[in-house]
Every structure is written in structure tokens, then in C-alpha cells.
Amino acid sequence: MAEEIIVSESEDKASKYESLVPQIMALIQDEPNRIANQANLVAALKTAMDYFWVGFYKVAGDELVLGPFQGPVACTRIARGSGVCGAVWEKKETIIVPDVDKFPGHIACSSESKSEIVVPVIRDNEVVYVLDVDSTTQDDFNQTDKIWLEKLLKMAEEYL
């Protein structure tokens, strides 16, 4: 197993993801424990991309429940349809929020979070988790993040 994630500081975002994704796959694909793999995936993303908060919420009945994450403590449960995470669960689609104050119903776990992207993890056509990534800078996420995070989660889904 790799002991550290290596991504050059000088690289642009797409190049960082390009070198990061195979490292994450190498980290998780021989490990059968889903929680261990979720934990390493969020740690790798936080380390390489320097986001403020990165974490999973797991679908459990009619709620999302906080899973492995990196960053400050966060809201534990989110109802279906609530906040950005609940909306992504309902729509089964990634949502990019350039300014959290302009997203109706946004749930502020931290006042420091200014923009976010939430990506669903889909198994057998059902959302099983959402991955939430927060930044302290407005407008920090774009189509590059959407493309790469969706690609990563599609590749990683069977190990999560």
C-alpha cells in the first residue's frame, strides 16, 4: 500500500486529479473494508487538493448519516431533500454551489464554508452515499471537479 499521496503543488487542478485518481485506486482496491476505503479516499482528497472539508454521507432509511470525513466536525444527519446533500440524493446528480448563501436551504455546518460540490455515489441505480467537498473560497469548484470526482467515484464505487 502507498504510504503517502504525491501530487505536485504547481500542477493545475486537472493534472492534480489525473495523478491523484490512480493513487487513490491503488490505495483502496485491495482492501475489502468499505469504511477503511472511504476514510482513505477522503484523506487523500483533503491532502492533495487542500479542501476545507471532504466527507461522505451514507443513505440510511430516510436520512443521510455522516460517514468518514476530514475537516471540522459536521452535521450528523440530513433529511432527504434537505440542503445540498439531500438535494443531490433526491436528484441523483452532482450539484456545484458557487456561493452557499445563495443556495436555498443550504445547511451551514461551518460558517467558514463558502462554496461546495456534492457528488452522488450510485449503486444499482440507487444513491448509496454522497461525497461533499467544501471550500472556504467562493466559486472554488467547476466542471473539472465535477468530471474528475464523478470519474473517481464511478471507479471506486465497488470498493466503497
Residues within the interface to ligand SME (CB under 6 A)? 53, 74-75, 78, 83-85, 106-107, 109, 113, 116, 132, 134
In the bound state, the residue with its beta carbon closest to ligand SME is: 83
Other C-beta atoms lying within 10 Å of the C-beta of residue 153:
20
Task: Kindly tell me the sign of the dihedral angle through the C-alpha atoms of 49, 53, 59, 65.
Answer: positive
Please choose, from the candidates 148, 134, 125, the residue with its C-alpha nearest in 3D space to the C-alpha of residue 59.
125
Q: Which is nearer to ligand SME, 71 or 159 (CB)?
A: 71
Minimum distance from residue 65 beta carbon to ligand SME (Å):
12
Would you say 65 or 75 has its CB closer to ligand SME? 75
User: What is the closest distance, in whole angstroms, from the C-beta atom of residue 94 to ligand SME in the complex?
Assistant: 13
Between 6 and 73, CB nearer to ligand SME: 73
Kindly tell me which of 102 and 124 has the beta carbon lying closer to ligand SME: 102
Judged by CB, which is closer to ligand SME: 27, or 85?
85
Helix axis angle for 143-156 and 34-49, nearest 10°, is 160
> 3-state secondary structure string, 69-125?
EECCCCCCEEECCCHHHHHHHHHCCCEEECCHHHCCCCCCCCCCCCEEEEEEEEECC
Q: How far is the CB of 33 from ligand SME (least distance, A)?
A: 23
Least distance to ligand SME, CB of residue 109, Å: 4
C-alpha torsion 75→147→24→138, nearest 10: -40
Closest distance between ligand SME and the C-beta of residue 75, in Å?
5
